[in-house]
């Protein structure tokens, strides 16, 4: 193994790459804006939202996006803060929720989970959390909107544990809530961060205290809240989990922070603590063993493909997570699946406001590559010895439609369009065994509309979509004879790699199948198959 230039190693060690997971409206955009604001990447909070109407979102199929006022595009944002280089991977969350969102998590080294204090753990958070769990990455929780009245903090922690199956360690604890919200008590630093309404851009005010029992807290918060804080903190100390860095690093214990993103309260404390605990890029599994980010030359994998971000180009953009070494503009690298050299001439990095051409990037960063149709999700690019990163997993879609072409004369165009668009990964393609019918599966139903629109606009093909009653897909593994016997049933389809997949209309049906076929295992994703 080669020794790396120490400057490069320093650059890699600075990287922190994470994704925010949450349910729509919990405050992900607001939080992202505040984080970018701290990094000086934007001058004023508010730019991230504006991005939704920016000039990049004007290509024609994105008319859908404009009409609905939501963001189909998503990207990565980066900024420097306190000696760190931070990459935030955007995870689309509204109706445009798609498998991409899951897959983006495979490019993250940590996740930040935002929970609305009034709503608790919501559906989309659960789904995204499961993917993080599967990968064993650390998960940091920010309970948002403490300026509003919400659930009791103990109740929330109990809910996190019950619903998500993860233990928690509150790093700080709220003093009051809603109109009585006074601030948070930092359990580690023994200080109180004071909340002042409308203090969006002002300096954070910390009051050093000797502990929860310090009368200074009583002066600020009043006797009742002070007493309540003392009771609650001593309960946490006695009955709560201990702080354990190893459990945090492996995603078994989540540090919890309370705050109010819109008021910029608790955000910096969160960021500072997060940076202390979140990992720099670590070794990743590959076909030749673990790839160390520091000692290996450049390598990375494509985790997402996006079409037509810039209306001036019909090309796609492939998003690459760099996993080792250093990347330089113009570099010729090995495209392992095609066994071919490709020159990466104009890589893009994604800022909050604009796209910029990058000259140099390091392990941990995400770059966008112009894709004339040579990249697929999961492709590995590398320098030196050839290897491939683990296959990109597919996840269970929740909506299914049979797709046919309206005009049989256009069958060829239809096949080509379907193959190319499903390669981008937001729509999964299945085929039935007996008839070879095409079935599409999506995580968010808007993807059907986008696909229909694009097939028409880009391939000149009209399609018919017939919704099927399924809601769940499971990759089936195990006794081959049993699987072969099941093939005649319409519920069994195969994915693009010919792996058998069983479709179910309900959890109940799935449980029945699990009971009925003890020799088979039913996988929620294709990870590791």
Shortest Å, Cβ 376 to ligand GDP: 30
215-254 footprint of ligand GDP as x/- string (CB under 6 A) = ----------------------------------------
Q: Is the Cα dihedral 149, 153, 154, 160 positive or negative?
A: positive
Distance CA 77, CA 352 (A): 6
At residue 427, the 3 state secondary structure works out as coil
Interface with ligand GDP: number of residues (CB under 6 A): 17
CB of 181 or CB of 375, closer to ligand GDP: 181
Radius of gyration for the chain, computed over Cα atoms and rounded to the nearest angstrom: 24
In this chain, which of 217, 262, 307, 377 binds ligand GDP, going by CB under 6 A? 262
Residue with tokens 């002002």: 202
Q: Is 85 annotated as a binding residue?
A: no
CB of 30 or CB of 380, closer to ligand GDP: 30
Q: Is 22 annotated as a binding residue?
A: yes
353 burial type by CB count under 10 A (0-12 exposed, 13-18 middle, 19+ buried)? middle
CB of 27 or CB of 39, closer to ligand GDP: 27
CB of 27 or CB of 255, closer to ligand GDP: 27
Query: Is position 51 an interface residue for ligand GDP (rule: CB under 6 A)?
Result: no
Q: Is 146 annotated as a binding residue?
A: yes
In this chain, which of 156, 261, 309, 461 binds ligand GDP, going by CB under 6 A? 261
Distance CA 142, CA 140 (A): 7
Phi, psi angles (nearest 5°) of residue 41:
-70, -25
Q: Which stretch binds ligand GDP (CB under 6 A): 21-29, 306-314, 362-370, 426-434?
A: 21-29
Helix (H) or strand (E) holding 523: strand 520-523
Q: Is 96 annotated as a binding residue?
A: no
Shortest Å, Cβ 59 to ligand GDP: 23
Shortest Å, Cβ 245 to ligand GDP: 28
Phi, psi angles (nearest 5°) of residue 306:
-125, 135
In this chain, which of 22, 254, 308, 422 binds ligand GDP, going by CB under 6 A? 22
Question: Could you give the C-alpha distances from 170 to 208, 251, 438, in angstroms and in order?
Answer: 19, 15, 49
Q: Is 144 annotated as a binding residue?
A: yes
In the window 309-368, what residues touch ligand GDP (CB under 6 A)? none
Shortest Å, Cβ 364 to ligand GDP: 24
Q: Is 23 annotated as a binding residue?
A: yes
Q: Which stretch binds ligand GDP (CB under 6 A): 23-31, 50-58, 60-68, 83-91?
A: 23-31
Question: Could you give the C-alpha distances from 480 to 344, 484, 486, 517, in angstroms and in order?
Answer: 43, 6, 10, 12
Specify the pairing of strand 15-22 against strand 84-89.
Answer: parallel
Question: Could you give the C-alpha distances from 64 to 205, 267, 456, in angstroms and in order?
Answer: 45, 34, 13
Shortest Å, Cβ 213 to ligand GDP: 29
Distance CA 273, CA 464 (A): 51
In the window 134-163, what residues touch ligand GDP (CB under 6 A)? 144-145, 147-148
Specify the pairing of strand 380-382 against strand 332-335.
Answer: antiparallel
At residue 59, the 3 state secondary structure works out as coil
Q: Which stretch binds ligand GDP (CB under 6 A): 228-236, 255-263, 372-380, 437-445?
A: 255-263
Distance CA 517, CA 500 (A): 14
Query: Is position 127 an interface residue for ligand GDP (rule: CB under 6 A)?
Result: no
Query: Is position 29 an interface residue for ligand GDP (rule: CB under 6 A)?
Result: yes
Using left for φ > 0, alpha for ψ between -120 and 50, and beta otherwise, residue 297 falls in: beta
Query: Is position 121 an interface residue for ligand GDP (rule: CB under 6 A)?
Result: no
In this chain, which of 4, 21, 24, 268 binds ligand GDP, going by CB under 6 A? 24
Query: Is position 260 an interface residue for ligand GDP (rule: CB under 6 A)?
Result: yes
Specify the pairing of strand 355-357 against strand 191-194.
Answer: unpaired
Query: Is position 73 an interface residue for ligand GDP (rule: CB under 6 A)?
Result: no
Distance CA 15, CA 321 (A): 12
Residues contributing to the site for ligand GDP (CB under 6 A) = 22, 24-30, 93, 144-145, 147-148, 260-263
Q: Which residues are annotated as a binding site?
A: 22-29, 90-94, 144-147
């Amino acid at each position: 193994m080669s020794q790396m230039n120490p400057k490069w190693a320093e650059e890699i060690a600075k990287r922190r790459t994470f994704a925010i997971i949450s349910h729509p409206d919990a405050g992900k955009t607001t939080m992202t804006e505040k984080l970018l604001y701290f990094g000086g990447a934007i001058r004023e909070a508010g730019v991230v939202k504006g991005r939704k109407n920016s000039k990049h979102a004007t290509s024609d199929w994105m008319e859908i996006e404009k009409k609905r006022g939501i963001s189909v595009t998503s990207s990565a944002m980066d900024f420097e803060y306190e000696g760190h280089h931070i990459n935030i991977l955007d995870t689309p969350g509204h109706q445009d929720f798609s498998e991409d969102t899951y897959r983006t998590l495979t490019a993250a080294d940590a996740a930040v989970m935002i929970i609305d204090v009034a709503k608790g753990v919501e559906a989309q958070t659960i789904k995204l959390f499961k993917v993080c769990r599967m990968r064993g990455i650390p998960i940091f929780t920010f309970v948002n909107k403490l300026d509003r009245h919400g659930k009791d903090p103990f109740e929330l922690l109990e809910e996190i544990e019950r619903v998500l199956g993860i233990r928690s360690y509150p790093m700080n604890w709220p003093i009051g809530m809603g109109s009585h919200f006074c601030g948070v008590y930092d359990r580690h630093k023994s200080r109180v961060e004071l909340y002042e309404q409308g203090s969006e851009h002002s300096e954070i005010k910390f009051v050093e205290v000797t502990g929860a029992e310090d009368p200074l807290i009583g002066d600020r918060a009043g006797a009742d809240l002070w007493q309540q804080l003392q009771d609650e903190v001593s309960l946490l100390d006695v009955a709560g989990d201990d702080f354990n860095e190893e459990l945090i690093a492996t995603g078994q214990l989540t540090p919890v922070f309370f705050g109010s993103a819109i008021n910029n309260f608790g955000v910096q404390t969160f960021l500072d603590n997060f940076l202390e605990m979140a990992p720099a890029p670590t070794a990743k599994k590959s076909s030749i063993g673990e790839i160390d980010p520091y000692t290996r030359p450049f390598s990375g994998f494509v985790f997402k493909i996006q079409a037509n971000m810039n209306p001036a180009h019909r090309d796609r953009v492939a998003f690459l997570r760099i996993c080792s070494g250093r990347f330089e503009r113009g570099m010729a690298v090995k495209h392992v699946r095609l066994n071919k050299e490709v020159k990466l001439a104009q890589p893009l990095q994604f800022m909050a406001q604009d796209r910029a051409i990058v000259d140099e990037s390091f392990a941990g960063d995400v770059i966008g590559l112009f894709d004339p149709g040579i990249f697929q999700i999961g492709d590995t690019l590398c320098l030196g010895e050839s290897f491939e990163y683990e296959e990109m997993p597919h996840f269970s879609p929740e909506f299914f439609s049979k797709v046919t072409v309206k005009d049989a004369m256009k069958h060829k165009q239809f096949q080509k369009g379907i193959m190319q668009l499903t390669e981008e990964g937001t729509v999964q393609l299945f085929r039935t065994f007996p008839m070879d019918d095409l079935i599409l599966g999506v995580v968010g139903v808007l993807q059907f509309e986008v696909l229909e629109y694009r097939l028409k606009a880009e391939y000149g093909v009209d399609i018919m979509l017939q919704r099927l009653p399924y809601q769940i897909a499971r990759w089936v593994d195990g006794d081959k004879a049993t699987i072969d016997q099941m093939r005649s049933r319409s519920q069994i389809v195969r994915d693009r790699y010919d792996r058998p997949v069983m479709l179910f209309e309900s959890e109940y049906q799935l449980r029945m199948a699990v009971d009925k076929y003890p020799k088979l295992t039913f996988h929620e994703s294709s990870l590791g198959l």
